[in-house]
Chain A
Amino acid sequence: MEQQIIKVKNKKGVRVIPGFGLSLGVTLFMLGILILIPLAAIFISASQLSFQEFVSVITSRQIVSGYVVSLSCAFFAALINAVFGLMLAWVLVRYQFPGMRLMDGLIELPFALPTAVAGISLTYLYSDKGWIGSFFDKAGIKIAYTRIGITLAMVFVGIPFVVRAVQPVLEKLDRQYEEAAMMLGASKTYTFFRVILPELFPALLAGFGLAFARGIGEYGSVVFIAGNIPYKTQIAPLLIISKLEQYKYGDATAIALVLLLISFSLMLLINSLQIYMQKFSRA
């Protein structure tokens, strides 16, 4: 009888599984000490700058050009990844062909390969003496030490994001929608753009956002191929490091704070868009 009463209580929201306090304690402690407290240092350090100092740092020509380079290259890289990622996901889900497993396994290489290794390898490959770079050099196109090179390195690190975001959604997508479009007379191409693409869009957007954010913050794979020519190919994370090397901690903090705000607002934007899109899913 005692047991019975306890059971009824449970349904009303009393926690029966032991370990809530311990789990909460460990989680908050570790999160606090390893992530939140260190992160707070940025805000503490930034608060020591006067507003004018802060503005003058982040509006200086070099810093602005750093943001522009990072953001524009990351944007184009994410766009390229959205196109190829969608294509890769489609090919991997919808077609059967030899080597498919290998192709699927290869997608995560940019996650597994240290960025510095990717960086020097891409630089070598696309410099004017490299296997691919020399080819383009003859056509008068320089890749390494230009924004094209930076974009290329960002494409490399961003490959897995879109593929892995779109792939599971495409796998689960009910064939009925395509069949319905077909029965209404639509061609395969028309069906893809009008019916399938909207279904994939939230996932595509999430993958794009992650690749974009990764590109903005990326350092290791980009710094070698960028060549770090002031006002031309200096990325924002590199500027933080060069300020640190000059012991200008305040400047470094200011640059970092803006970069943080950019990534957070990007994530927020994408999350809210996704929540909005979720409204359309069937009840």
Chain B
Amino acid sequence: MKEKKRNYDQDVVGDGINSIQKVLEPADRDSNNIVKYALISICVLFLFVMLVVPLAVVIVNALKDGWTVYRRAVLDEYTIKALQLTLLATAAAVVVNTIFGIFASFLLSKFYFKGRQLLATLIDIPFSISPVIAGLVFILTFGNIGWMGNFLRNYGIKIVFAVPGIILATIFVTFPFVFRELFPVMNAQGKDEEEAAALMGAGGFTIFRRITFPHIKWALLYGIILCAARAMGEFGAVSVISGHLRGKTNTLPLHVEILYNEFNTTEAFAVSSILVILAVLILIAKNFVEWKKK
């Protein structure tokens, strides 16, 4: 009852969502309905052509030559290896970026210090950088010509054209994802509760676990999902640094590229369908978390 009361006559006029619609008389409502359904139709058509049809293309083409061909492509040794590497890189990116996201957002939301703004800007850098450049920077750092190249060669460590490079590149492109989700939530929460706990003598870890964490758990999960989605599908950065060694440095998206370039279209789409399924699962998880967050 209280809720409804607030909605109807109040001292702050921020009224019922449909107040404008309600006012309209038949003639107006007709013309408004035309606008409404026209806009909805355009949007549905746009999303259908741009998003749904490309998904359908993948599935239809993956199954074009029948179930056996599909199974063979999906269960192929190189596909399995590529899937393993993709999952490894994704897991590494999620772990590293979660640790970073938690520390960085705690730092920027609970403490005031000079250079806060600059730090926030620096963290966002990977967002505005082409993934190809993200790959390039690691070649320039760790590759043969890179300034650390000699050092690594002497110790026999291989980063470029090897698994560590793929992991590093994946971490780079997904670096701000968890931070981006956590920071606004922690910032909005303020720091009063943490200060109160600190004055009562709680230690840093206890404060985080008991005070901060309960506020951010859904945002954290959300950030992890976004990070995983991006890590799993990363192509440009990984493509630059992988050297495309089949069975060794091939991730699933790179494997798709190789198959496609070799004109094994059906296999390419079959492998893609694994990624489509993962993407759809991620979308479902994302929407579930979003719904939970509310």
Contact = CB atoms under 8 A, between A and B. Distances in A.
Interface of A: 3, 6-7, 10, 13, 15-20, 22-24, 26-27, 30-31, 34-39, 41-42, 44-45, 84, 87-88, 90-91, 95, 97, 99, 101, 103-122, 124-125, 130-132, 155-156, 159, 174-176, 178-179, 182, 188, 210, 213, 216-220, 224, 236-238, 240-241, 244, 249, 252-253, 256, 259-260, 263-264, 266-267
Contacts of B32: 188
Interface stretch (B53-61, B66-74, B150-158, B213-221): B53-61
A178 B20 contact: yes
Contacts of B96: 30, 34
A84 B257 CA distance: 30
A118 B15 contact: no
Contact of B53 (A23, A41, A44, A131): A131
Interface of B: 13-15, 17, 19-20, 32, 35-36, 39-40, 42-44, 46-47, 49-55, 57-58, 61, 96, 99-100, 103-104, 106-107, 110-113, 119, 122-123, 125-133, 136-141, 143, 145-147, 168, 171-172, 175, 191, 194-195, 198-199, 203-204, 207-208, 226, 229-230, 232-236, 239-240, 252-254, 256-257, 260, 265, 268-269, 272, 275-276, 279-280, 282-284, 286-287
Given A7-B199, A17-B195, A217-B129, 16 more contacts: A18-B204, A20-B107, A31-B122, A35-B122, A39-B125, A41-B146, A95-B39, A97-B40, A105-B283, A112-B282, A113-B55, A114-B253, A124-B265, A159-B50, A179-B20, A220-B239
A84 B43 contact: yes
Nearest to B237: A219
Given A35-B126, A217-B132, A114 B53 contact: no
Contacts, number: 290
Contacts of A240: 130, 132-133, 136, 240
